[in-house]
Amino acid sequence: MKHKTLKGLQDILPPDISIWHHIEKTAANIFKSYGYHEIRLPIMESTEVFKRSIGETSDIVEKEMYTFQDKGGRSVTLRPEGTASFVRAYVEHHLHNNPPPQKYYYTGPMFRYERPQAFRYRQFYQIGAEAMGIEDPKLDAEIISMLSRILDSIGLKGLNFEITSIGCKECRPDHKIALKNFLGSKLDAFCSDCRRRYDTNPLRILDCKVPACIELRKGSPPVLDYLCKECKDHFDSLNKYLKLLKVPYRVNPNLVRGLDYYTKTAFEVSSENLGSQSAVAAGGRYDSMVKEFGGPPTPGIGFAMGMERVIPLLKDVIEISDGPELLICPLDNAASEKGLHLAELLRAKGLWVEINHEITSLKSQMRKANRISAKNVIVLGDDEINSHKIVVKSMIDKVEKESKLDADQIAAILQQRS
């Protein structure tokens, strides 16, 4: 019987993996320039970690978590997102004792039991960043600018940056009343989930993905109109700083986040080229979460970027050149031994070198050079070994260059051509 990946999961194979490396490396370099340190977190947590922070009435907790009992009878959950795990770690290791801002990033798989569709998987990968301990909107502007720089540097174009403020616990009650007034008269037409949410958490209705509900809630009062003075000042300053940093964005008062923990700033980056799953990255501020996890009151802000959303956008943009610098083609056993040694000497210099271990005709060795996209070839036979001279042939422009049969000289030629 042949086995297959589970529904909604995928294997990531070469050459696609080169795009993954490109994104991860580019992001890591930019994180470094902003002082973000990598943090590695477990992929499962006690179920409570997610329930309390993401919200009992959110779609994620209600429908999408991979939750099960382990052999010790504990309820554990595969992480559906990174921030809750991060905050758990932040409090557990007293990272708040270090001078603010504390800045971290992570990469890794997340799990949600959703209906698989294009660009949406049940195991999906995120690169996320979290900055802790500063309430000032300059930090918000900085992290949004960093995200913009990352997306730009990996080669993404034509993205929409949208920001809003979703208020705080002071200003939300007024908004909630206005929202309930707006939705109340047509509540019967909403889906059963939304009718229930009307009493438990009406804000969640703004996040419902049922098309009828999306239509019905059009024109609902945005929280942006109900901000308290503190939230409004915060948002106004953020706008000022984003303009100062020349981040291209627009305010979208209807932006909603599917997680309960956000306060004030929320943002999303989307692409028109991804169909209905248009979000590429999203994030926001979560000023009360650390306290709710038992730590001292500590503001925080973060974002996560979806790898499976970014990669299809890059496939036509990034040229993946994935082939060895050199293929050594030996013509007999003695040349094969010589080549084996030469390959080692060149690899020690950091060059990607392949050698044909099976001696076949020169024609078939050249065919292989093309198939593996080798950039250069060396043919090794009696003549080359006796004269101690070889020819490095470029497979790209067919230029031939003579060299001593000497690793230093060959390496110099390869480096010149790469």
Binding site for Zn ion (CB under 5 A): 167-168, 170-171, 191, 194, 208, 210, 213, 228, 231
The residue (of 128 and 137) whose beta carbon lies closer to Zn ion is 137
The residue (of 37 and 169) whose beta carbon lies closer to Zn ion is 169
Q: How far apart are CA 103 and CA 31, in angstroms?
A: 9
Per the DSSP assignment, residues forming a β-bridge with 404 are 389
The residue (of 230 and 406) whose beta carbon lies closer to Zn ion is 230
Q: Rounded to the nearest whole angstrom, what is the least distance from the CB of residue 271 to Zn ion in the complex?
A: 25
Structure tokens at 262: 């956000």
Q: How far apart are CA 54 and CA 80, in angstroms?
A: 10
User: Sign of torsion, CA 27 28 29 31?
Assistant: positive
Q: How far apart are CA 319 and CA 30, in angstroms?
A: 21
Judge residue 57's burial from the number of C-beta atoms within 10 Å of its C-beta, 0-12 exposed, 13-18 middle, 19 or more buried.
middle
DSSP output for 12-62: --TTHHHHHHHHHHHHHHHHHHTT-EE----SEEEHHHHHHHH-TTSHIII
The residue (of 84 and 171) whose beta carbon lies closer to Zn ion is 171
Residues 6+ apart with CB under 8 A from 272: 158, 160, 278
Q: Rounded to the nearest whole angstrom, what is the least distance from the CB of residue 99 to Zn ion in the complex?
A: 27
- What is the 8-class DSSP label of residue 239? H
Q: Rounded to the nearest whole angstrom, what is the least distance from the CB of residue 232 to Zn ion in the complex?
A: 8
Q: Rounded to the nearest whole angstrom, what is the least distance from the CB of residue 279 to Zn ion in the complex?
A: 19
The residue (of 24 and 174) whose beta carbon lies closer to Zn ion is 174
Among all chains, which residue has been given the structure tokens 């009718």?
195
The residue (of 212 and 396) whose beta carbon lies closer to Zn ion is 212
The residue (of 298 and 365) whose beta carbon lies closer to Zn ion is 298
The residue (of 168 and 327) whose beta carbon lies closer to Zn ion is 168
Among all chains, which residue has been given the structure tokens 């956000």?
262
Q: Rounded to the nearest whole angstrom, what is the least distance from the CB of residue 245 to Zn ion in the complex?
A: 24
Q: Rounded to the nearest whole angstrom, what is the least distance from the CB of residue 47 to Zn ion in the complex?
A: 25
* Cis omega (within 30 of 0) for bond into 15: yes
Q: Residue 16: name the closest of 307, 278, 276 by CA.
A: 307
Q: Rounded to the nearest whole angstrom, what is the least distance from the CB of residue 95 to Zn ion in the complex?
A: 26
Side-chain-side CA neighbours of 10 within 13 Å: the count stands at 16
Q: Rounded to the nearest whole angstrom, what is the least distance from the CB of residue 180 to Zn ion in the complex?
A: 15
